Amino acid sequence: MSLIPLIRRRTRLLAASLLAVAIAVPISAITTTADASATTGVVAAAATALPCDIYASGGTPCETAHSTTRALFASYNGPLYQIQRASDGSYLNISVTAAGGVANAAPQTSFCAGTTCTITKIYDQTANHNDLPISWGGYWKGPGPNGADVGANAMALPLTIGGSTAYGVKVSQGVGYRVDNAKNVPTGSAPEGVYMVTSSNYVDQYCCFDYGSGENSHTDTGNATMNAIEFGTACWLGGCTGPGPWVEADLENGMYSSNTGPNSSSYQGVNFPFVTAMEKNNGTSNFTLKYANATSAGLTTGYSGSLPKGYSPMKTDSSILLGTGGDNSNSGIGEFFEGAVTAGYPSDATEAAVQANIAAAGYSFGGSSGGGGTSGALHAVGAGKCLDDPNSTTTGGTQQQIYDCNGQANQHWTHTSSGQLTLTVNGTTECLDANNNGTANGTKAIIWTCNGGTNQQWDLNSNGTVTGVQSGLCLDVTGKATTDGALVELWACNGGTNQQWTLS
């Protein structure tokens, strides 16, 4: 992207007859019709086919495939990622439980006990071996030695998949992974598809939480030299509608929700604990953005149309990146669980089948999948932090705050059958409470001994807001602040990102 220091931004269809793999089943058996075009063809796929098997059967094979949670090929039986512990500098590979299986995370738990661990490499599951090591940096320097980026905390993002414990990649500012001159990936104007599973729990407005293709030089080499998914609340070209976050295309010098930049009025944000994000680009005339709740089948198209002016033909380079922009812009944050880059322009039918497989994988936080659980961390979507009881206090009247998510008891909330949000700290259960039964803007959100009052009852709404039953006001991060310690209050609902929450 162009080098603007204040923001640090440098920031068809296939033929009806498709190659079959293993046991053929019609796509109607493994997908839904949320995409109207998804049922226009038939994809023959194995009953045990995983995302990259499905892409291959559609004639658009994965040229890279990365995941810390599961195999992306039914035949894959190797390592998913590598970790290093701080206590003695030793390394450990985390592999799948069996061919086509989920991560075997149990060794990680014991290996990292009493110390910290870093994800140092994410293995490519294709025969190309385009593994992702920690990036050496770029135009924007990272916080590591000699300006390199740093690896993610290996224990920072626990989850379950198919009922088994696994860990995602929590990309904080300065974290980045990259392989240059990747083998066999699309370059120039060759058609390319990208998908990843991410989350709206941890996003920001800065550049760039990307996954896809970028420049080997780690510098901005001009329009159309990137083709990556960007996920966050950045509205780089202005005019956006709604609070976000959005699935966007980072094509270099612009994060595009459409060919002009701004998203459509119907595409105001994607708020799910697990999000499927897809982007495809035919290199000359079209790029398409899709998204879905990654725990339920059915893709939505955010945009499909012409490339932006000055971006045809594409000039995509062959570096594959995760967590930063093309010139190593590293102020973006996000969460990554799995993804792939494909050769060719995937059909709608293929993408629908991939999404159905992702939905069937069983991603969840805290044992609950779907739009959020009844117990877990209450994530402030706009800030990428969690609702936090300061210093685990049990003192009634303490105003609650947001703070970096840490998995501790003072961030673990339960939404009870009576509508209370309870927190058990230091052996005492407290309730989130509208101070002094307040119903006015600015009423403090505090903890107080649970008493059954309506000022302690909360609705968790499908639009991401948390509203007080008594007041009808929204739980709100004061002043749209995103820093640790920002206080939480009640305010009239206004659609702002500081009023967006997910309990997971």
Which active-site residues does the annotation give?
Answer: 252, 327
Q: Nearest to residue 333, comparing CAs of 482, 248, 209?
A: 209
Distance, in Å, from the CA atom of 358 to the CA atom of 360, rounded to the nearest integer, reads 5
Distance, in Å, from the CA atom of 60 to the CA atom of 143, rounded to the nearest integer, reads 37
Burial zone of 133 (CB within 10 Å; 0-12 exposed, 13-18 middle, 19+ buried): middle
Residue 208: asked if its preceding bond is cis (omega within 30°), the reply is yes
Q: Nearest to residue 7, comparing CAs of 242, 261, 308, 237?
A: 237
Q: Within a 10 A sphere around the Cβ of 163, how many other Cβ atoms?
A: 9
3-state secondary structure of 446: strand
Q: Position of tokens 């008891």?
A: 409
- Beta strand residue intervals within 353-487, DSSP E: 363-364, 375-376, 378-380, 385-388, 401-403, 413-415, 421-425, 428-434, 445-449, 458-460, 466-468, 474-477
Burial zone of 239 (CB within 10 Å; 0-12 exposed, 13-18 middle, 19+ buried): exposed
Return the DSSP state at 435. G
Contact 228, 339 (CB under 8 A): no
Radius of gyration of the chain (CA): 22
Q: Position of tokens 């310690």?
A: 485
Q: Within a 10 A sphere around the Cβ of 25, how many other Cβ atoms?
A: 17
Distance, in Å, from the CA atom of 397 to the CA atom of 445, rounded to the nearest integer, reads 9
**H or E stretch covering 348:** helix 348-360
